[in-house]
Chain A
Amino acid sequence: MNIFRLAGDMTHLLSILVLLLKIYATKSCSGISRKTQELYAIVFVARYLDLFTDFISVYNTFMKVVFIASSLAIVWCMRFHPMVRRSYDRELDTFRHYFLVGASFALALILHEKFTVQEIFWAFSIYLEAVAILPQLVLLQRSGNVDNLTGQYIFFLGAYRAFYILNWIYRYLTEPHFTRWIACVSGVVQTALYADFFYYYFISWKNNSKLKLPA
């Protein structure tokens, strides 16, 4: 474990806590893409298949359980909680996210570290996570105004993978045989997808104005 990876995990956890706060405090999920949340649930289930077979550390197991449980709870809330589901922007959240699932799985069948079920599902979860934010960014473009908690949620979600990139650079420099090309290239693509959001987020923060994404 290094400081970059710890910062990344804590930022990722923070993004989930901010989203849970928004949904719990406002009893609303307006501005949140359910499709992106469903993709994240698939990402965590597919990535943590080793939850019961490989014990790394208490921290590792604890965080995996938190990520799986929170992503499933958020999807459940957005689908079945009477108050929350009413505020879902169904007509704005129209990205065909199943294409992302199919494409990521197809890519994982071609590009993986080992041709085993666990490795293919791991690569699939890495590719899917890189594009999982797309329905959310599309929804933001359509809904125009972004409430503070949603903006902070997306900011922390984007920042966490940027910390992971620093982690991979650090590990590459300090650990002789460390290579995680699939995760690293995918992580760079994932972070790049947030580039314009980060730009408008920074502008709104600098001008102390409401975050607006150009339609």
Chain B
Amino acid sequence: KEADDVKDEL
């Protein structure tokens, strides 16, 4: 998955 796809927020 591209980096910006990963949801880093809860």
Main secondary structure of the interface of A (DSSP, over half): helix
Closest residue of chain A to B2 (Cβ to Cβ) is A114
Chain B residues lying within 8 Å of A64, measured Cβ to Cβ, are 10
Asked if A87 CB lies within 8 Å of chain B CBs, one says: no
Number of A-B contacts (CB under 8 A): 25
Chain A interface extent, by class: 20 to 34
How far apart are A51's CB and chain B's nearest CB, in angstroms?
Answer: 11
B residues contacting the other copy or chain, number (CB 8 A): 8
Chain B residues lying within 8 Å of A12, measured Cβ to Cβ, are 10
Closest residue of chain B to A44 (Cβ to Cβ) is B10
Chain B residues lying within 8 Å of A117, measured Cβ to Cβ, are none
Q: How far is the CA of A167 from the CA of B5 in the complex (A)?
A: 18
Chain A residues lying within 8 Å of B7, measured Cβ to Cβ, are 47, 50, 54, 122
Name which of B1, B5, B10 has the most chain A CB atoms within 10 A of its CB. B10
Q: How far is the CA of A183 from the CA of B8 in the complex (A)?
A: 12
CB-CB nearest 4 A-B residue pairs:
A54-B6, A56-B8, A63-B10, A9-B10
Additional A-B contacts beyond A54-B7, A183-B9 (13; CB < 8 A): A9-B10, A12-B10, A47-B7, A54-B1, A54-B6, A56-B6, A60-B8, A60-B10, A67-B10, A114-B5, A164-B9, A167-B9, A180-B9
Q: Measuring CB to CB, which residues of chain B are less than 8 angstroms from any residue of chain A? A: 1, 4-10
Q: Measuring CB to CB, which residues of chain A are less than 8 angstroms from any residue of chain B? A: 5, 9, 12, 47, 50, 54, 56, 60, 63-64, 67, 113-114, 119, 122, 164, 167, 177, 180, 183
